[in-house]
Structure 1
Amino acid sequence: MSRRTFHDIHGILLLDKPLGLSSNQALQTARRLVGAAKGGHTGSLDPLATGLLPLCFGEATKIAGWLLGSRKAYEAEVKLGATTTTADLEGDIVETRPVPELDDALIEAALAPLRGRITQVPPAYSAIKQDGVPLYVRARRGEAVDVPSREVDVYRLEVIGRAGDTLRLHVECGSGTYVRSLAVDLGANLGCGAHLTGLRRLWVEPFMAPAMVTLDDLRAAAETGPDPLEACVLPIDAGLAHIPRVQLDAAQTRVLGFGQPVPLGAGAAPGRCGVWGDDGRLMALGEVGPEGILRVLRGFNLPAP
């Protein structure tokens, strides 16, 4: 393949991250294949995790941080009877304990406290930063790591399969939730310890039924030309599909174009919204206040359609 040139591409790629790559490695590989000058991802997946990693290119990077806080779903595999230093397969085994005789009632009693708004201690081997240094860097140095607890939301947590001492779980959770920590806490509740042995992200709101693209798909498209590659990239508004759309008229478009708040009237629904100009161009991620005033949270510099 000839050397790829980089240019302005604005949109979202729903990558099926492969096993073994960090999120940044997957991002940079996809960005080079697509030829996007600028890119970012919407929340890390561990190297041992696979599945949906939304990548934002060009102006779409302006909503990457917002998508990071979205609701997510995973399929997790949890091995009971052993804890590890990293709470997953990468770490060394710290302790092994016998697994109790499992039945549905015992498992449900262990899962129930892990649902809802819960307090969770993230793994010491995580990307959370203290004094600008990721915790995993400190842990790998052998430093004592004091990980503060945090409140997170677990909307759904249930067993979808069981084979011996291994459970398969469906998890739906909010931003900042560590599935590895859920595995550790489940093992503690059962009295035998546990660690995560597999994780696949199924969806990230608003991409609830994602048509994911693999790196091999991108490589094959790159052999054909730029058009098949760019066809893999969704428009930015795909990332705004779950919030209201505000359509401005010509006068309102001019006001917003000057960076000024736009009065929409008392009947406007408050909250975040996507904002389109009278020429059909996506102009901003906005927020309507209780008084009906539209203000820009992030503006987009996109060509007219």
Structure 2
Amino acid sequence: MCPASPFSRSWVAMDTVTLVLSFSKAAKNRWSPKSTKHLSWRCPNELEFNMTSKPHGILLIDKELEWTSHDVVAKLRGILGTKTIGHTGTLDPLASGLLVILVGEYTRLSNYVLAQEKTYETEVTFGRSTTTDDAEGEIVKMVEMPALNEKALKESLELFNGTISQRPPAYSAISVGGEKLYKKARRGEEVDVPLRQVHVSEISLLEMTAETCRLRIRCSKGTYIRSIARDLGEAMGGAAFCSALRRTAVGEFSVSEALKIGSTAEAHRASLLTGLSAKVGLPPIQLQKQEAMDLSHGKKIGCRADVQIKPGELALAFYGDEIWAIVAEHQGEIIVKRGFGKQV
């Protein structure tokens, strides 16, 4: 704590360095707002010097209902103090669950996180269909259906196992003719939504009532759970829509490890996954010092006996606990596919 002075003014740098300076009248001419345009004022008579680095890592967020994925990212920009941030797979406002957020240099891994399987728990309500295939849309059809039968339901679920052709909802962010489908749908235009192939690794019945069932679905990227609900209703001889949806996992990341967006800034920073804990679906390899130096300069390195990368596959190279580069095997050597600008 600095002693009080006749002329005391506090300065705070809000970027990577925080400074609070109290100074005397004699220092007045040496310090002016012009020379410190990146600083902002705070309470006097304190001296702080808090060196903080820009955050990097993977943050797991348990998104609540009614938040958009964009809302979450925008909130975290302010909490973490960085613009270099993004999510890896949209969740609709009526869906809750796991959002994998990439921060700082880890945004370079977005394609690899996006490619991982996702796991959902969903509730399907039978006897009605909606414009959006979920609870947000208007009811467009009501069908008298008998109470659900477990045997018949499980037989219908088998139709959705493996690689299937799926028609995305009319209210979706897919572009047709250079425009998002939901924009066309809102104008009342009828659009021939193209079929797409997706893969469902698991679809299992968790529980059921007379007119609803709860399912666990593990699937590839680009799979619409709303479409599965709609098509399941048709397979059962009636109609259905997705009445609730929660994402529980992305690859090896689980919602049980995630934070709520209302957690403190300190909790968010402390929960950033870095290094070997950043499981993005690429096999990890550990570099020795000389190998890390060579890769930093764009050189190839030899494949050690204890390093196995299959031809055509990528791996994540680490030096210590730092991500160093995305690498690949090429003619018996390891080459850099994407560097992270690190130096030993």
Q: 2:111 aligns with which of 56, 65, 86?
A: 65
Q: 2:279 aligns with which of 209, 233, 240?
A: 240
Give the secondary-structure state (helix, strand or coil) at the position aligned to 1:15: strand
Q: Which residue of 2 aligns with 1:181?
A: 227
Change (3 A) 1:5 1:253: closer
Q: 1:272 aligns with which of 283, 293, 314?
A: 314
Corresponding letter in the other structure for 2:338? R
1:114-152 deviation digits (Å, cap 9, x = unpaired)? 111111111111111224422112211222222111111
Instruction: Tell me whether 1:286 sits opposite 2:332 in the alignment.
Output: no
Q: Per-residue deviation at 1:105? A: 1.4
Change (3 A) 1:101 1:35: same
Alignment of 1:202-221 (within 5 A): 202-208=248-254, 210-217=256-263, 221=264
More helix by share: 1
Q: 2:134 aligns with which of 88, 92, 99?
A: 88
Instruction: Tell me whether 1:113 sits opposite 2:113 in the alignment.
Output: no
Q: Which residue of 2 aligns with 1:164?
A: 210
Q: Which residue of 1 aligns with 2:3?
A: none
- Structure 2, gaps ≥5 residues long: 1-11, 17-52
Q: Specify the structure having the higher radius of gyration (Cα).
A: 2
Would the aligned equivalents of 1:80 and 1:166 in 2 still touch at CA under 8 Å?
Answer: yes
Q: Per-residue deviation at 1:4? A: 7.3
Change (3 A) 1:3 1:164: farther
Q: 1:257 aligns with which of 282, 288, 296?
A: 296
Corresponding letter in the other structure for 2:231? D
Give the secondary-structure state (helix, strand or coil) at the position aligned to 2:262: helix
Corresponding letter in the other structure for 1:125? Y
Corresponding letter in the other structure for 2:339? G
Q: Which residue of 1 aligns with 2:49?
A: none
Change (3 A) 1:299 1:206: farther
Q: Structure 2: how far apart are the matches of 1:241 and 1:152? A: 20
Q: Per-residue deviation at 1:265? A: 5.5
Q: Structure 2: how far apart are the matches of 1:60 and 1:255? A: 22
1:138-182 deviation digits (Å, cap 9, x = unpaired)? 211222222111111101111111122011111111111110010
Q: Structure 1: how far apart are the matches of 2:78 and 2:189? A: 36
Would the aligned equivalents of 1:9 and 1:37 in 2 still touch at CA under 8 Å?
Answer: no
Q: Structure 1: how far apart are the matches of 2:321 and 2:84? A: 24
Corresponding letter in the other structure for 2:284? R
| TM-score normalized with structure 1 length | 0.88
Q: Structure 2: how far apart are the matches of 1:24 and 1:128? A: 17
Change (3 A) 1:194 1:37: same
Change (3 A) 1:295 1:147: farther
Give the secondary-structure state (helix, strand or coil) at the position aligned to 2:269: helix
1:3-36 deviation digits (Å, cap 9, x = unpaired)? 9758721111100011011111111112212222
Q: Which residue of 1 aligns with 2:335?
A: 295
Q: Structure 2: how far apart are the matches of 1:81 and 1:216? A: 37
Corresponding letter in the other structure for 1:58? G
Which region of structure 1 is more displaced relative to structure 2, 112-121 or 93-102?
93-102
| TM-score normalized with structure 2 length | 0.79
Q: Per-residue deviation at 1:83? A: 0.7
Would the aligned equivalents of 1:265 and 1:292 in 2 still touch at CA under 8 Å?
Answer: no
Number of paired residues?
294
Give the secondary-structure state (helix, strand or coil) at the position aligned to 1:117: strand
Q: Structure 1: how far apart are the matches of 2:230 and 2:69? A: 23
Corresponding letter in the other structure for 2:129? T
- Structure 1, gaps ≥5 residues long: none
Alignment of 1:46-57 (within 5 A): 46-57=92-103
Which region of structure 1 is more displaced relative to structure 2, 233-242 or 76-85?
233-242
Q: Per-residue deviation at 1:299? A: 2.1
Would the aligned equivalents of 1:275 and 1:285 in 2 still touch at CA under 8 Å?
Answer: yes
Q: Which residue of 2 aligns with 1:12?
A: 58
Q: Structure 2: how far apart are the matches of 1:100 and 1:287? A: 55
Change (3 A) 1:297 1:193: farther
Would the aligned equivalents of 1:119 and 1:151 in 2 still touch at CA under 8 Å?
Answer: yes
Q: Which residue of 2 aligns with 1:21?
A: 67
Q: Structure 2: how far apart are the matches of 1:5 and 1:25? A: 23
Change (3 A) 1:113 1:38: same
Would the aligned equivalents of 1:79 and 1:166 in 2 still touch at CA under 8 Å?
Answer: yes
